[in-house]
Each structure stands twice: as C-alpha cells, then as structure tokens.
Amino acid sequence: MKVDSMRKIDYYAGIPLCFLLSLGLRLRRLFRPRQHRPASKVLLIELSEMGSAILVDPAMRKLQANGAELFFLIFAKNAASLRLLGTVAEDHVFTIREDGLMHLLIDTLRFFLWARRRRIDSVIDLELFSRFTALLSGLSGAANRVGYYSFHNEGLYRGELLTHRVAYNPYLHISKNFIAMVNALLSERDEDLYSRSIIDDDEIRLARVEIPLLQQQAMQQRVQESYPDYVSGRQRIVLINPNASELLPQRRWMPDRYVEVMRRLLAEFDDVLILITGAPAECAEADDLKQQVDNPRCVNFAGKLKLQELPVLYSIASLMLTNDSGPGHFSSITDLHTFVIFGPETPKLYGSLGNSTPIYAGLACSPCVSAANHRKTPCHNNVCLQLISADEVFAQIQTVLAEQA
C-alpha cells in the first residue's frame, strides 16, 4: 500500500474511530475504574521505520533490566531489523502486512487475538501521533497504554486512549524520547504529563554485535565472488548506500554526486574497493551508478545480502556513505565509521548512535518533516541536499581514509 494512501486512511478513518473508542473506554471506566498494574508483559509498537527498531533498543533493554518480558508489533517488511540485535525473542514479534487493505485488516484482527492470548498488560506506542497505532493500543486489552499525547497541539488528535500521556519533545533525540516513554510506564505515580525526568547520554548507548572471524571470512569470500581481485588486507572496502525508503524520498542525495564522489575516491586511493549496497529492488539503480563510475573497482552489491547479514559486511568495511536511512542505524551496532547525509530531517533528532558523522546543511526550513505534519513535506525541491556538494563529502571521507592508511 502506498504511503500517502495509508496517511489518508489514518486521517479519515482514524479520527472518528479514535473518538468512538474513546467514548467506549470512558463508559467502561464508569463501571470498572482503572487500577494500577505493574508492567510485566510489555508490547512495543513501531510499524513503519526500520531504523527505529535500532534506536529503541536502549529503551527495550531498560525494560528488561526492570524485569519486563518484551513483545513487538511491526510491519512485516521491517521485521528483519529487529533481528539485528535480537533483543526481542522471535516468537514475541507480531507482523502486520501492509501490501494491501485486506491483508492489513486481517492481520490487525489477528493481532488483537494474539495480544490477549499472551496477556499483554502494557503497550508503548512508539509511533509519532499515528491514529492506527493508537487504535491498536486501545484495543489490545492492555491495562497500561503509553504514548505521545497532543495536549494543546492542534491537529494531532488521536483520542483519549492513553493511560500514560507522554509529552513528545522535538528537541530531544528520538532515543531519549523512547526512554521517556519507558520512564512513564515505570513511574509509580499517576501524573497529568509524563515524563519529568533527565535522560543521560549513557542511557542511549547501543549494544554492539560481536562478529565471529569465520563469518567475516565467509563475507570476504562473498565479496571476492563479485570482485575476484579482492584480497583481505590489501583492499579497503568503502560502502555506498545511495537509496532511502519511499516514506520520504526527499532524503536522497543526488545520484550524480554519488558518482562524482566514487570516481574521486577510486582515483585518490588505489587500494579502495567500492561496493554499492541496496535492496534487491534497488539493483538496477545501483547498476546504473556503477556504469557511470566506469571503474572495475566499483561493484554493484545491491541485493546480494539479507538485511541480517549487513552487520557482517560492516565489520569488514573501512567506512560507509549513506543517505539518512536504515543502514545508517544498522551500522551503529558495529564500529564502522559511517557518513550520513541529512536533508529534510535533522541528526539532532534522528542521528545514528554509532561511529557516525552527520553531513547537514542546516537550512532555515530544515527539518521540514516532524510529528506535527506526520512526516510529510510539501517540498519538491530539496535544496537542503542540493547545497551539500560532492567536494564537501569527498573531503570528509578523504580525511578518514588517509588517517586509516
């Protein structure tokens, strides 16, 4: 299903349904007043963003440290991102297909049965003011329902379905916003506004994966299959990820500038091997870039790996250049130095938690997507990315590669 179609359904169907469900819950509370229940079985809902499955990991580990059993609800196409760190058990993850309205409805009904059978007592809705996830929370059967509440913000209505209303802070990194929701759930006091707490940087440090040597050697063989002259220790691998999800295509830096950076890297460093990465559907686009670079040390590697194999590739690479998208977060669980190009969003809110360098022009109009506009921008001329030159990007990468030599 197209992103804009999902936004329309969320608005035109979501608002009246949230209103009706709010009335039902209010009537229910007249006969069954809410009682405080400790959080033991906690469901987290994050449907649409693969990177957020990484950014929420510190919050999930805090829940585990407080004795909670974790469950997760996510769109089927994004579920692989949860497996990178393995914090949530495979059989505790429920997926919803979003490739058509009928699948969406069927899986939603299945979810309600799944949640009740597992006696979920607490739900944390990580989505930014989505009515669909508010409905999922309200009908989950959970006694504790944590999420972002609009308070006095206009246009963000999604009913009165929450038991723990958290103030979303657009000036705080999203990982700290997620921690704030956990703090709200763990609070022993009822408050009109959560979460009045200070969140230190130490609380959002990511766990790192340890890649066994045998897996690294197997990955080096995979690279050698695509580039027979590759020898570990002789060539340095530079990864280029030129794509971004359809959720926000304005995040894509111009392809011709990627081509220019790749050409200059190959001319400057004769030991560099460039792998263009991407999903299987992005293979043709990657091949077009490879043809434009026109150098045997530039290889189309798109579609060669499953998502859960990416950390192994990152562990044998020297650095990566990527748009603001999932790989910038997936690499953060390794030591790979990653350069992330930002445009309509800001690294202050969505920056990688790993060994990452953001590249950001910082226009007066940027970031133009936010919780307030459901991350939909009116912009069709992404000057915020056009102002980032190939010279600027190459200079930053050149410095790091020279230091690594």
pLDDT digits (tens, 9 = 90+) for 289-305: 999 999 999 999 999 99
Query: 251, 286 in Cβ contact below 8 A?
Result: no
Mean pLDDT of 251-271: 96
Is the same domain home to 159 and 272? no
Is the same domain home to 187 and 250? no
Q: Would you state the pLDDT for residue 245? A: 67
Is the same domain home to 96 and 227? no
Q: How far is CA 304 from CA 78, 251, 307, 308, 404, in A?
A: 18, 23, 10, 12, 27
pLDDT > 90 in the chain, percent: 79
* pLDDT tens, position by position, 136-174: 999 999 999 999 999 988 888 999 999 999 999 999 999
3-state secondary structure of 356: strand
Is the same domain home to 224 and 175? no
Is the same domain home to 180 and 263? no
- Last residue of a domain, which of 204, 234, 253? 204
Is the same domain home to 333 and 356? yes
The answer to whether residue 2 scores a pLDDT higher than 80 is no
- Cα 239 vs. chain centroid, distance in angstroms? 19
Q: Would you state the pLDDT for residue 29? A: 79
| Cross-strand pairs, 42 | 70, 122
Domain containing 86 equals 3-204
Is the same domain home to 345 and 258? yes
Q: Looking at the 3D structure of the chain, how many domains does it have?
A: 2
Q: How far is CA 125 from CA 110, 140, 398, in A?
A: 18, 11, 42
* pLDDT tens, position by position, 33-66: 777 778 999 999 999 888 899 999 999 999 999 9
Q: Which two structure tokens, joined as six digits, stand for 229?
A: 């002259």
The answer to whether residue 32 scores a pLDDT higher than 70 is yes
Q: Residue 231, exposed/middle/buried by CB under 10 A (0-12, 13-18, 19+)?
A: exposed
Mean pLDDT of 334-363: 95
Q: Would you state the pLDDT for residue 154? A: 83
How many CA atoms are closer than 13 Å to the CA of 374, on its beta-carbon side?
18
pLDDT classification of 194: cutoffs 50, 70, 90: confident
pLDDT classification of 255: cutoffs 50, 70, 90: very high
Backbone angles phi, psi at 51, to 5 degrees: -65, -30
Mean pLDDT of 191-214: 92
Render 48-103 in DSSP notation, one character per residue: S-TTHHHHTHHHHHHHHHTTPEEEEEEEGGGGGGGGTT--S-GGGEEEE--SSHHH
Opening angle at CA 19, ends 18 and 21, nearest 5? 65
Q: What is the CATH number of the domain that holds 116?
A: 3.40.50.2000
Is the same domain home to 189 and 230? no
Is the same domain home to 392 and 326? yes
The answer to whether residue 247 scores a pLDDT higher than 80 is no
Q: Would you state the pLDDT for residue 155? A: 84
- Last residue of a domain, which of 169, 204, 239? 204
Query: 251, 344 in Cβ contact below 8 A?
Result: yes
Number of helical (H) and strand (E) elements in the chain, helices listed first: 15, 12
Q: How far is CA 68 from CA 119, 294, 342, in A?
A: 13, 53, 35
